[in-house]
Structure 1
Amino acid sequence: MSGLLALGGSLKRYAAHTDFVRVGELIDHSCLIVDGLVGRFGQNGDGLRQISGLYISGDMADLPSVVSPRAGWGIGALTVTTIVRIPHADLRRLAGRHPGVAEALWRDCVVDGSIFSEWVVNVGRRNALSRIAHLFCEMAIRCEQAGLGSRTSFPLPITQWDLGDATGLTSVHVNRTLKELRMASVADLRSGVVSVHDWDKLVSVGDFDPAFLLLDSPAPRITDAA
Structure 2
Amino acid sequence: MQRLTVSTSEALDRFISRVSRRSPLSDDEAAALLALPATIQRARGNADIVSPGELVEQSCLVVDGMLGRFVQMVDGRRQITAMYVAGDMCDLHSVVVPRADGALQALSNVVVLRIPHDDLRRIAKRYPAIVEAFWRDCVVDASIQSVWMANMGRLDAKARMAHLLCEIGTRLEHAGVAKRDRFAFEATQSHLADALGLTPVHVNRTLQDLRSTGFVAIGNRRVEISDWAALAAIAGFDPAYLHLDQDTVSAATAWRHAPASRA
TM over 0.5: yes
Q: What SS class does the counterpart of residue 158 from structure 1 fall into?
A: coil
Q: What SS class does the counterpart of residue 70 from structure 1 fall into?
A: coil
1:47-196 aligned at under 5 Å gives the runs 47-196=76-225
Match of 2:237 in 1: 208
Deviations 1:108-150 (A, max 9, x none): 1011000010110111111000000000111111011001212
Q: Does residue 9 of structure 1 match 2:14?
A: no
Identity between Structure 1 and Structure 2 (%): 49
Q: What SS class does the counterpart of residue 57 from structure 1 fall into?
A: coil
Which has more radius of gyration? 2
Q: What SS class does the counterpart of residue 218 from structure 1 fall into?
A: helix
Q: Does residue 25 of structure 1 match 2:25?
A: no
Which one of 41, 59, 66 corresponds to residue 37 of structure 1?
Answer: 66
Task: Supply the distance in 2 between the matched residues of 1:96 and 1:189 (Cα, whole angstroms).
Answer: 46
Task: Supply the distance in 2 between the matched residues of 1:155 and 1:104 (Cα, whole angstroms).
Answer: 28
Q: Report how far residue 5 of structure 1 moved.
A: 5.8
Task: Supply the distance in 2 between the matched residues of 1:84 and 1:182 (Cα, whole angstroms).
Answer: 36
Deviations 1:53-101 (A, max 9, x none): 1001110011111111111111110111111111111001111222332
List gaps (5 residues or longer) in structure 1: 220-226
Task: Supply the distance in 2 between the matched residues of 1:107 and 1:53 (Cα, whole angstroms).
Answer: 17
Let me know the Cα RMSD of the aligned residues: 1.4
1:20–1:5: structure 2 CA closer, same or farther, 3 Å change rule?
farther
Equivalent residues of 1:5, 1:84 under 8 A apart: no
Q: What SS class does the counterpart of residue 87 from structure 2 fall into?
A: coil
Which one of 215, 218, 224 corresponds to residue 249 of structure 2?
Answer: 218
Q: Hey, which of these two has a bigger chunk of helix by percent? A: 2
1:16–1:5: structure 2 CA closer, same or farther, 3 Å change rule?
farther
Task: Supply the distance in 2 between the matched residues of 1:207 and 1:179 (Cα, whole angstroms).
Answer: 20
Task: Supply the distance in 1 between the matched residues of 2:115 and 2:134 (Cα, whole angstroms).
Answer: 13
Task: Supply the distance in 2 between the matched residues of 1:98 and 1:146 (Cα, whole angstroms).
Answer: 24
Aligned length in residues: 219
Task: Supply the distance in 2 between the matched residues of 1:169 and 1:93 (Cα, whole angstroms).
Answer: 43
1:5–1:18: structure 2 CA closer, same or farther, 3 Å change rule?
farther
Task: Supply the distance in 1 between the matched residues of 2:62 and 2:150 (Cα, whole angstroms).
Answer: 26
The runs of at least 4 consecutive aligned structure 1 residues that moved more than 4 Å come to 2-5
Q: What SS class does the counterpart of residue 69 from structure 1 fall into?
A: coil
Match of 1:222 in 2: none
